């Protein structure tokens, strides 16, 4: 920590940056200084604006307002290439590795050394030599000539770091670098970070795991709703202060929790199994309740929902709807049986992004509302859209607006409208509030409560524990493809859910996680803070 750069000039100054998207203000007057030789942790909940900020720093977005000062000079770069040339590199959570190419080819991708007068021919020898030099410096256990796709995630990440080294980058952004690494791999990564620091590289470090900060962070900045709420040297702040500034509001006000009364059974599954994915899952959901489904990412929750919706074929097990066993052959039959499914990836599997709001809303209901069995009923389309724009307070310029132009919150409401128009009584919501801003979340919870009060049934898969605690009447927890438990409202707590979600895997756990009362820390992975 001897390089704590109070004396040094910042390598990058972000000054009063504001970024607006249609309908959303993602960042407001954000000013942060980043110093060479320091790890600067950028913290905040999902939707706080972290990713928008790093996209601005790395040249993906152009800020609406404000300036970037890199090495004491104002810069207005227009694309990631220009940022890269200045010396700003990003290591994304999803690594950008070309699996079929060798390690050396990956490291030098886009800037391969040439030979001959015109530098037309590839100088493979030089490329592999330089790559190997960087790899040896890092002390890794693979060679420049290995094929990248054969390496582990951790080794692939080392390739990304080798890229940074060979580029002589001055600022490196690491977006959740430890999310797919084991303990020993994380240690190795931290060693590399230490080495980068010694070489006076500035590092912007994004993580959801507050525990790691103790090891790596020199300085922290907390963002909330697009505003900087806390800046500090790490040694001057406690973890609980960090958590408090990240959450920043009383959870009870936010979720508007209502106690629902459990009525008759709507959906029951018994012994549901998809080989190799999940096994023997049995649970029931009732009219008038919100059933939470908790668990770590990869526990099989989404797959169970896909199977209930008949998008995935089950190997064995039974599905009962309103007490009657039904063999659903495909999603069309699921919809006919009044099940609606809002998937976790809104942009990829939830919406026709280039289509109008109207076409998105009416799609599953077209056939049911057809005129003379074959024709679309335009009067009904208009009526039903206007009706739901009002009911759900969907903010859109019009029915024909292309849906990708709406904010995330409004898009999610459109998906809700789509299933309400389809007369769903059982709504499966997979991560319903992912990536939408706080106010929209709160509104969405109210709509969920309304739906349930009117006699609907919601099954909500969520990785955000506060959300489960705030909204669900009951929670079932999954762990590694099995149902590990069920908790009623009185038993629900972050600690109890976390224990059900992860306790067995603790021994082989990849993450530095504690089993004691530090539930805030534990839940950080679940919540995806």
Partner 1 sequence: MGKAKEWSEKNAVVIVLIVLIIFFGIANSTFLTPANIINITAQMSINAMLTIGITFVIITGGIDISVGSVAAFAGIFSAYIGLKFPKAPLIGILGIQLGSAIFIGTICGAFIGIAIAKFKVVPMIATLAMMTSARGLAYVVTDGQPVYGLPNKFAWLGAGRLITTEKMKNGVIPIITIFLVIILILMHILLSRTIFGRHVYAVGSNEKVSHLSGINVDAVKIKVHILCSIMAALGGVCVTSKLNNGQPAACDTYEMYAIAATVLGGTSLLGGIGSVLRAMFGCAIIAIINNGMNLMQISSYWQKVIMGMIILVAVIIDMAQKKEKK
Q: Please give the residue ranges that form the binding site for partner 1 (CB under 8 A).
A: 309, 311, 330-332, 334-336, 341, 343, 348-355, 359, 363-364, 366-367, 370, 374-376, 418
Residue 248 burial (C-beta neighbours within 10 Å; 0-12, 13-18, 19+)? middle
Q: For the CB of residue 286, give the shortest distance to partner 1 in the complex, in Å.
A: 24
State the nearest-atom distance from the C-beta of 52 to partner 1, in Å.
19
Measured CA to CA in angstroms, residue 519 lies from 55, 346, 449, 495, 523 at distances of 31, 30, 27, 6, 6
Judged by beta carbon, residue 333 or residue 486, the one nearer partner 1 is 333
User: CB of residue 348 vs partner 1: minimum separation in angstroms?
Assistant: 7
3-state secondary structure 348-408: HHHCCCCCEHHHHHHHHHCCCCCECCCECCHHHHHHHHHHHHHHCCCCCCCCCCEHHHCCH
Minimum CB–partner distance for residue 402 and partner 1 (Å): 10
**Residue 347: other Cβ atoms inside 10 A:** 12
Query: Minimum distance between the CB of residue 304 and partner 1, rounded to whole angstroms?
Result: 15
Closer Cβ to partner 1, 89 or 411, answer by number: 411
Q: Give the C-alpha distances (Å, rounded to integers) separating 435 from 78, 340, 447.
A: 25, 21, 17
Query: Shortest Cβ distance from residue 409 to partner 1 (Å)?
Result: 19
Say if CB 502 and CB 318 are below 8 A apart: no
User: Nearer Cβ to partner 1, position 120 or 375?
Assistant: 375
CA end-to-end span of the chain, whole Å?
27
139 or 378: CB nearest partner 1:
378
**Judging by DSSP bridges, how do beta strands 12-21 and 65-70 pair with one another?**
antiparallel
Question: Of 275 and 348, which has the nearer Cβ to partner 1?
Answer: 348
Of 24, 136, 36, 106, the closest CA to residue 407 belongs to 24
What crossing angle do the helices spanning 519-527 and 494-502 adopt, rounded to 10°?
A: 60
Please say which residue, 269 or 415, places its beta carbon nearer to partner 1.
415
Which 8-state DSSP code applies to residue 314? Answer: -
- Measured from the CB atom, is 292 or 364 closer to partner 1? 364
Q: C-beta of 331: minimal distance to partner 1 in Å?
A: 5
Interatomic CA distance for residues 350 and 482, integer angstroms: 26
């Amino acid at each position: 920590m001897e390089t704590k750069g109070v004396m040094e000039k910042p390598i990058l100054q972000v000054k009063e940056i504001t970024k607006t998207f249609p309908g959303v203000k993602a960042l407001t007057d954000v000013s942060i200084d980043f110093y060479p030789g320091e790890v600067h942790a950028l913290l905040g909940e999902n939707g706080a604006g972290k990713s928008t900020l790093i996209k601005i720093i790395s040249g993906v977005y152009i800020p609406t307002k404000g300036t970037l000062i890199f090495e004491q000079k104002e810069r207005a770069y227009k694309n990631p290439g220009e940022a890269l040339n200045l010396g700003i590199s990003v290591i994304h959570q999803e690594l950008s590795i070309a699996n079929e190419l060798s390690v050396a080819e990956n490291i030098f991708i886009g800037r391969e050394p040439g030979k001959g007068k015109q530098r037309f021919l590839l100088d493979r020898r030089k490329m592999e030599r330089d790559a190997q030099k960087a790899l040896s410096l890092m002390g890794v256990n693979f060679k420049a000539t290995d094929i990248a796709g054969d390496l582990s995630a951790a080794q692939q990440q080392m390739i990304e770091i080798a890229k940074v080294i060979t580029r002589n980058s001055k600022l490196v952004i690491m977006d959740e670098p430890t999310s797919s690494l084991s303990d020993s791999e994380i240690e190795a990564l931290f060693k590399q970070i230490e080495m980068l620091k010694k070489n006076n590289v500035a590092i912007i470090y994004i993580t959801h795991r507050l525990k790691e900060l103790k090891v790596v962070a020199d300085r922290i900045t907390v963002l909330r709703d697009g505003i900087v709420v806390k800046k500090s040297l790490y040694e001057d702040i406690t973890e609980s202060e960090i958590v408090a500034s990240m959450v920043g509001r009383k959870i009870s006000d936010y979720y508007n929790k209502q106690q629902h009364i459990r009525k008759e059974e709507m959906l029951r599954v018994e012994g549901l199994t998809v080989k190799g994915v999940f096994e023997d899952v049995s649970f029931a959901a009732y009219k008038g309740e919100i059933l939470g489904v908790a668990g770590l990412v990869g526990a099989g929750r989404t797959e169970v929902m896909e199977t209930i919706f008949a998008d995935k074929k089950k190997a064995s097990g039974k599905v009962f709807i309103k007490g009657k066993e039904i063999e659903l052959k495909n999603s069309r039959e699921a919809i006919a049986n009044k099940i609606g499914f809002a998937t976790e990836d809104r942009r990829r599997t939830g919406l026709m992004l280039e289509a109008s709001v109207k076409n998105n809303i009416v799609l599953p209901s077209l056939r049911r509302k057809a005129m003379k069995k074959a024709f679309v009923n335009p009067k009904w389309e208009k009526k039903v859209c206007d009706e739901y724009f009002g009911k759900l307070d969907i903010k859109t310029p019009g029915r024909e607006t292309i849906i990708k132009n709406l904010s995330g919150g409004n898009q999610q409401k459109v998906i809700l409208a789509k299933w309400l128009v389809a007369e769903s009584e059982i709504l499966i919501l997979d991560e319903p509030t992912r990536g939408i801003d706080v106010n929209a979340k709160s509104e969405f919870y109210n709509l969920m409560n309304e739906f349930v009060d009117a006699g609907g049934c919601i099954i909500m898969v969520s990785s955000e524990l506060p959300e489960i605690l705030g909204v669900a009447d009951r929670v079932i927890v999954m762990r590694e493809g099995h149902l590990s438990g069920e908790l009623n409202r009185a038993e629900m707590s972050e600690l109890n859910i976390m224990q059900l979600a992860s306790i067995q895997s603790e021994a082989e756990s990849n993450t530095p996680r504690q089993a004691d009362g530090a539930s805030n820390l534990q839940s950080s992975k679940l919540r995806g803070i």
